[in-house]
């Protein structure tokens, strides 16, 4: 088969279709403060019938994509061919939810319908859904089993839904002759009547998700770049969602209707002024691609989590189950190892805000009230220094998860030692203490009363 995988961009048109272009809704901070801000860590699950083929989700049918090595290239017919054979006998959402909870995750987001248009529930509108599979013909409902399992573990329920639909005849359905895929142009648009028919279909599916599956805490949209904000009429969709489920959060990929930002596969260098979440894969692929074995180490994932949280965001960490529903061993192992670290250090990355400035401490830090968490990305030789803090308020320094306190010295400018509450530096003595583990955390307690502290510079 001819490889037409080279994609092109209409950058001018694409600019106004990217998720960071439009402002968030006016009350986004209040809406996110209910549970999303400070959640810390969540789980993303990319999965549909094409995991049987061991290829990336959706993108192979349009010729692959530059950013995904597992995208490959298959015909539209080949891509859709496994819908009928899908029978994930080892799908165990309860196990996934339990692993997520044990890993300290607060919420899960599942791909109910990716860009290819196949729905993981028995939708009453259209036939391109779970009912076309062996699993669905036996009464299976992937979305329901996921929602119930996650909710039973006390986790927040998120649902991914693609605005674009490469299988719907009114969208239009993707054909091999449309290659190469052009961002902001592909696939071609049908008639005005077809477009209104598709929008009616989209809203009907959202109605099913929001009214038949219990409370949905978050809707994670994607694929909107293929049409303009005016085409989508995003306010109409947002109003529809909030009329059915007022507290459901919406990501920023529904143009004007977002509650939070979603940088993908990278960490912003500085804290963002708005609620945000970084979504990231464990290897280079979103779905199950057995040839992609470049899994991140537990250290790299924890470093990513800590850096994201220290800049005010959440990390949405992805897994891609295999075609039979079972978990990839490496992904399971990473979740277990993250859970071990979280058992000791969870309080330093959940329910916290950004901590110190980079010049104050050589590493990422977080804060919860008068407590500052110092994440040790490298093993200190003999001391750890924190600068620019109110030294008379330092009550104690501890290693998170360990008994006892560390010795420390306060130091101020020589002419400020007699001030009541001066800024200065704290020199923490770590000699004789084991800080060689996987990113240990020092806890700096700033709850001391300055009136009860005598300062000196020796």
Per residue in 48-93, pLDDT tens? 999 999 999 999 999 988 778 776 899 999 999 999 999 999 999 9
Q: Which residues contact 39 (CB under 8 A, 6 or more apart)?
A: 106, 107, 156, 314, 350
Degrees to nearest 5, angle at CA 76 with 71 and 80 = 90
Q: What pLDDT was estimated at residue 316?
A: 98
| Residue 289 C-alpha from the chain's centroid | 20
Q: What pLDDT was estimated at residue 17?
A: 75
**Per-residue tokens: 110:** 């599942």
Q: Which residues contact 368 (CB under 8 A, 6 or more apart)?
A: 347, 351, 352, 353
Q: What pLDDT was estimated at residue 219?
A: 99
Cα(421)–Cα(25) distance, integer angstroms: 41
Say which CATH topology domain 355-452 has.
Answer: Immunoglobulin-like (2.60.40)
Of 205, 29, 236, 213, nearest to 118 (Cα)?
A: 205
What's the whole-number average pLDDT of the chain? 94
Degrees to nearest 5, angle at CA 233 with 232 and 237 = 95
Does the model's pTM come out above 0.85?
yes
Strand order in the sheet with 371-375: 353-354, 365-368, 371-375, 441-445, 396-399
Q: What pLDDT was estimated at residue 101?
A: 98
Cα(425)–Cα(420) distance, integer angstroms: 15
> In the CATH hierarchy, which top-level class contains the domain 8-347?
alpha beta
What's the residue count for the chain? 458
Q: Which residues contact 198 (CB under 8 A, 6 or more apart)?
A: 165, 168, 170, 171
In the 8-state DSSP scheme, what is residue 48? Answer: -
Tell me: the pLDDT tens digits for 78-135? Answer: 999 999 999 999 999 999 999 999 999 999 999 999 999 999 999 999 899 999 999 9
pLDDT tens digit at each of 458 positions of the chain: 344 444 466 666 777 777 778 999 999 999 999 999 999 999 999 999 999 999 999 999 999 887 787 768 999 999 999 999 999 999 999 999 999 999 999 999 999 999 999 999 999 998 999 999 999 999 999 999 999 999 999 999 999 999 999 999 999 999 999 999 988 889 999 999 999 999 999 999 999 999 999 999 999 999 999 999 999 999 999 999 999 999 999 999 999 999 999 999 999 999 999 999 999 999 999 999 999 999 999 999 999 999 999 999 999 999 999 999 999 999 999 999 999 999 999 999 999 999 999 999 999 999 999 999 999 999 999 999 999 999 999 999 999 999 999 999 999 999 898 899 999 999 999 999 989 899 999 999 999 999 999 888 76
| Residue 258 C-alpha from the chain's centroid | 15
Cα(345)–Cα(341) distance, integer angstroms: 6
What ranges do the domains of the chain cover?
Answer: 8-347, 355-452
Cα(280)–Cα(41) distance, integer angstroms: 11
Q: What pLDDT was estimated at residue 154?
A: 98
Q: What pLDDT was estimated at residue 457?
A: 72
Cα(262)–Cα(91) distance, integer angstroms: 28
Of 286, 145, 150, 269, nearest to 222 (Cα)?
A: 286
Q: Give the burial string for 330-358 (b: 16+ CB within 10 Å, else e).
A: ebeebbebbbebbebbbbbbbebebbbee
């Amino acid at each position: 088969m001819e490889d037409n995988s080279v994609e092109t961009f209409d950058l001018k048109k694409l600019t106004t279709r990217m998720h960071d272009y439009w402002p968030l809704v006016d009350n986004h901070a209040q809406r996110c403060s209910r549970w999303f801000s400070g959640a810390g860590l969540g789980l993303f699950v990319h999965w549909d019938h094409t995991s049987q083929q061991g290829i990336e989700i959706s993108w192979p049918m349009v010729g692959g994509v530059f950013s995904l090595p597992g995208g490959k290239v298959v015909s539209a017919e080949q891509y859709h061919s496994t819908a009928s054979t899908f029978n994930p006998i080892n799908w165990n959402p309860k196990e996934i939810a339990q692993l997520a909870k044990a890993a300290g995750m607060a919420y899960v987001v599942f791909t109910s319908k990716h860009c290819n248009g196949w729905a993981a529930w028995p939708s009453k509108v259209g036939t391109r859904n779970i009912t076309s599979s062996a699993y669905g013909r036996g009464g299976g409902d992937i979305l329901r089993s996921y929602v119930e399992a996650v909710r039973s573990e006390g986790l927040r329920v998120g649902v991914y839904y693609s605005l674009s639909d490469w299988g719907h005849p009114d969208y239009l359905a993707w054909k091999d002759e449309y290659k190469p895929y052009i961002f902001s142009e592909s696939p071609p648009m049908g008639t005005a009547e077809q477009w209104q028919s598709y929008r009616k279909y989209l809203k009907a599916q959202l109605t099913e998700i929001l009214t038949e599956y219990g409370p949905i805490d978050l809707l994670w949209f994607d694929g909107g770049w293929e049409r303009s904000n005016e085409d989508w009429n995003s306010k109409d969709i947002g109003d529809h969602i909030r009329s059915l489920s007022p507290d459901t959060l919406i990501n920023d990929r529904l143009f004007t209707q977002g509650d939070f930002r979603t940088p993908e596969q990278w960490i912003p260098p500085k804290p963002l002024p708005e609620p945000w979440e970084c979504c990231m894969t464990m290897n280079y692929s979103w779905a199950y691609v057995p040839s992609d074995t470049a899994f991140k180490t537990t250290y790299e994932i924890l470093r990513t989590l800590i850096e994201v949280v220290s800049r005010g965001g959440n990390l949405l960490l992805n897994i891609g189950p295999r075609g039979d529903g079972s978990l990839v061993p490496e992904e399971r192992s990473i979740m277990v190892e993250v859970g071990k670290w979280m058992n000791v250090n969870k309080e330093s990355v959940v329910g916290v805000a950004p901590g110190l400035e980079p010049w104050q401490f050589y590493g990422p830090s977080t804060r919860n009230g008068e407590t500052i968490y110092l994440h040790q990305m490298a093993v200190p030789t003999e001391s750890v220094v924190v600068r620019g803090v109110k030294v008379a308020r330092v009550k104690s320094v501890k290693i998170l998860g360990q008994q006892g306190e560390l010795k420390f010295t306060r130091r101020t400018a020589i002419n400020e030692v007699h001030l009541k509450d001066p800024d200065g530096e704290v020199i923490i003595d770590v000699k004789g203490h084991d800080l060689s583990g996987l990113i240990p955390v020092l806890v700096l307690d700033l709850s001391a009363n300055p009136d009860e502290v005598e300062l000196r510079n020796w």
